[in-house]
C-alpha cells in the first residue's frame, strides 16, 4: 500500500462543503463510539449497520456517501480494537480508552462517492455534500494505476489548504544487491544518530531554530484574541483567524522539515546496510520528563523509526528493534556495567580501561543485541508488524506513513 498526495484546488464554496463533510464524518464517528459505550457486545459489523440508522435520523448525515459513513465507523472501531489489544497485552499505564473527536481534519471515502477524470488531473465527488470537481496539483502520475487499485480517497484540511490522499494497493518490494554491512544505531539528543562505526549525525533541531519566529507569531495571534466576544457568543475577528493561520503554517513548515530529514536519513541508512539494529524506545513515556520533553519531541525519533522500517520492508533489509535497557551503561568491550549520569558523554570503563563516546558505545551494544535477536524472531524482534504497517488504511490524522517523494 502506497499513499499519493495531491493539493486540491477549488472554489470557496467547495472548501466549505469539504468542511461540512469533515464535520459529518466526525459526528458519525462520535455517535458510533457513544453507541459502543451504551450497548455492550457490539462488533465492527454492528457499527457499520448503525451508520444507516444515523442516516435515517439526521438528514445531514444522509448527504454523506454511505461508504464514507462506514469509514467514520471504522475509525471509531480502530480506537476500540486498539483499547482491547492493550487490555489483552496487560501493558503498563493507561490502556488508551477511546475518546470523542473534537478537531477532526479529514473525511475518508472508499471505492464509491468519487470519480477521477480521464486525464487523472481532477476528481469529482458525487455525494450530496456539493463538493463537486476538484483539480489535483502534484507531481505524481495516477495513470500508472487502475481505479480498482485505489482503495481509499481522503480529503485532508491543513493550515495551508486542502489535500487529497490516494491509498493504492501495490507491491512495493524492490530487490537490491547485498552490501555486506550491518549497523547499530543509537538515537540521542546531542547527536540524532550515532552508529557502531563512530559515525554521528548532528541533531537538526528544527523547532529550536524556529522557536523565536513561532513565539512571535503566537504573540501576534494572542493580541488579536478578544475575550469579550466569548461572553457575547460572537466569532473572533477576521484578523485573528488570519494570524491563527499564519501561526499554524509556521508549525506545519517545521513538521515537514523534520519529516523530510528523517525520511532521507532513514533511506540512506537502509541503502548502506543489510541489517539495522535500533532501540525500541517508549517515546510517549519519555516525553513526560518535563526537562527533556521539548527536545525529545523536536528530535522526531518515532518518525525516523517508521521510515526506517518502511524502507527496510520495501528494499528487503532486516530491521531489528532491541530493548534499550542499559545499552548506555554497559561496556561494549567487556560487558561490565558502568553507571553514568546523562551529563557524562564519554564512556570510561574502570574494568578494562576502554574509552569511547557514550553514544557510540551504546550503538555497539545495540548491534550486538540485534545480531543475537535476529536468529530467533526474524526481522521485527519486538512486534508482529513494523509500526508503519499497523492498519492498511490511512492514518487517522491525515498523515501518511509511507508517502514518498518523487526522487525515491
Q: Are residues 52 and 98 in the same domain?
A: yes
* Residue 334, pLDDT score: 83
Q: Mean pLDDT across the stretch 273-289?
A: 86
Q: How many CB atoms lie within 10 A of CB 221?
A: 19
In a domain, 308, yes or no: yes
User: CB within 8 A of 318, min separation 6: which ones?
Assistant: 274, 275, 276, 312, 374, 379
Residue 374 above 70 pLDDT? no
What are the residues facing 275 on neighbouring strands?
Answer: 182, 318
User: CB within 8 A of 360, min separation 6: which ones?
Assistant: 186, 194, 195, 196, 198, 200
Residue 270: is it exposed, middle or buried by C-beta count within 10 angstroms (0-12/13-18/19+)?
Answer: buried
* Residue 343, pLDDT score: 77
In a domain, 309, yes or no: yes
Q: Are residues 106 and 18 in the same domain?
A: yes
In a domain, 408, yes or no: no
% pLDDT > 70, the chain: 91
Q: Are residues 93 and 193 in the same domain?
A: no
Q: What average pLDDT does the structure give for the chain?
A: 85
Q: How far apart are CA 26 and CA 201, in angstroms?
A: 41
The whole domain housing 368 covers: 182-203+262-389
In a domain, 239, yes or no: no
C-alpha cell at 294: 521539548
Phi, psi of 162 (to 5 degrees): -115, 145
Q: Are residues 191 and 277 in the same domain?
A: yes
Cβ pair 142, 120 in contact under 8 A? yes
In a domain, 224, yes or no: no
Radius of gyration of the chain (CA): 24
Q: Are residues 278 and 140 in the same domain?
A: no
Q: Mean pLDDT across the stretch 380-408?
A: 45
* Residue 89, pLDDT score: 84
Q: Are residues 155 and 109 in the same domain?
A: yes
Of the CA atoms within 13 Å of residue 152, those in its CB half-sphere come to 25
- Of the two residues 42 and 389, the one the predictor is more confident about is 42
Of residues 3, 346, 345, 288, the one with CA closest to residue 165: 3
Q: Are residues 100 and 198 in the same domain?
A: no
Residue 172 above 80 pLDDT? no
Q: Mean pLDDT across the stretch 120-124?
A: 91
* Mean pLDDT comparison of 25-34, 38-47, 381-390, highest-scoring range: 25-34
Task: State the CATH number of the domain containing residue 332.
Answer: 3.30.420
Q: Are residues 19 and 151 in the same domain?
A: yes
At which residue does the C-alpha cell 491509498 appear? 167
Q: Mean pLDDT across the stretch 45-57?
A: 91
Residue 376 above 70 pLDDT? no
Rounded to two decimals, what is the model's pTM? Answer: 0.82
Q: Are residues 17 and 136 in the same domain?
A: yes
In a domain, 230, yes or no: no
In a domain, 287, yes or no: yes
Final residue in a domain of this structure, among 168, 193, 228 = 168
Q: Are residues 11 and 154 in the same domain?
A: yes
Q: Are residues 187 and 319 in the same domain?
A: yes
Residue 95 above 90 pLDDT? no
Q: Are residues 143 and 274 in the same domain?
A: no
* Domain count across the chain: 2
In a domain, 216, yes or no: no
Amino acid at each position: 500500500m502506497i499513499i499519493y498526495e495531491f493539493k486540491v484546488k477549488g472554489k470557496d464554496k467547495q472548501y466549505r462543503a469539504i468542511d461540512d463533510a469533515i464535520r459529518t464524518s466526525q459526528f458519525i464517528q462520535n455517535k458510533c463510539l457513544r453507541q459502543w459505550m451504551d450497548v455492550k457486545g457490539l462488533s465492527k459489523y454492528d457499527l457499520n449497520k448503525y451508520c444507516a440508522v444515523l442516516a435515517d435520523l439526521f438528514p445531514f448525515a444522509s448527504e454523506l456517501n454511505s461508504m464514507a459513513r462506514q469509514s467514520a465507523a471504522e475509525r471509531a472501531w480502530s480506537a476500540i480494537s486498539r483499547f482491547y489489544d492493550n487490555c489483552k497485552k496487560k501493558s503498563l499505564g493507561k490502556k488508551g480508552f477511546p475518546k470523542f473527536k473534537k478537531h477532526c481534519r479529514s473525511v475518508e471515502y472508499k471505492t464509491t462517492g468519487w470519480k477521477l477524470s480521464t486525464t487523472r488531473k481532477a476528481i469529482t465527488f458525487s455525494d450530496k455534500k456539493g463538493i463537486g470537481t476538484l483539480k489535483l496539483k502534484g507531481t505524481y502520475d495516477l495513470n500508472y494505476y487502475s481505479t480498482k487499485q485505489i482503495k481509499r480517497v481522503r480529503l485532508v484540511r491543513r493550515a495551508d489548504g486542502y489535500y487529497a490522499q490516494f491509498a493504492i494497493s501495490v507491491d512495493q518490494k524492490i530487490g537490491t544487491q547485498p552490501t555486506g554491512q550491518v549497523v547499530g544505531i543509537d538515537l540521542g539528543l546531542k547527536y540524532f544518530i550515532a552508529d557502531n562505526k563512530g559515525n554521528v549525525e548532528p541533531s537538526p533541531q528544527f523547532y529550536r531554530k524556529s522557536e523565536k519566529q513561532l513565539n512571535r507569531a503566537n504573540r501576534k495571534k494572542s493580541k488579536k484574541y478578544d475575550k469579550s466576544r466569548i461572553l457575547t457568543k460572537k466569532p473572533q475577528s477576521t484578523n485573528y483567524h488570519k494570524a491563527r493561520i499564519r501561526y499554524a503554517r509556521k508549525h506545519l513548515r517545521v513538521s515537514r522539515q523534520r519529516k523530510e530529514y528523517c525520511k532521507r536519513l532513514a533511506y540512506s541508512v537502509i541503502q548502506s546496510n543489510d541489517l539495522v539494529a535500533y532501540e525500541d524506545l517508549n517515546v510517549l513515556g519519555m516525553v513526560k520528563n518535563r526537562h527533556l520533553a521539548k527536545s525529545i519531541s523536536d528530535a522526531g525519533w518515532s518518525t525516523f523509526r517508521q521510515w526506517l522500517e518502511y524502507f527496510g520492508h520495501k528494499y528487503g533489509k532486516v530491521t531489528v528493534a532491541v530493548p534499550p535497557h542499559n545499552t548506555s551503561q554497559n561496556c561494549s568491550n567487556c560487558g561490565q556495567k558502568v553507571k553514568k549520569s546523562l551529563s557524562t558523554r564519554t564512556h570510561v570503563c574502570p574494568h578494562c580501561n576502554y574509552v569511547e563516546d557514550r553514544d557510540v558505545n551504546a550503538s555497539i551494544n545495540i548491534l550486538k543485541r540485534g545480531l543475537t535477536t535476529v536468529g530467533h524472531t526474524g526481522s521485527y524482534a519486538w512486534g508482529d508488524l513494523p509500526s508503519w504497517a499497523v492498519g492498511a488504511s490511512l492514518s487517522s490524522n491525515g498523515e501518511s506513513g509511507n508517502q514518498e517523494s518523487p526522487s525515491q
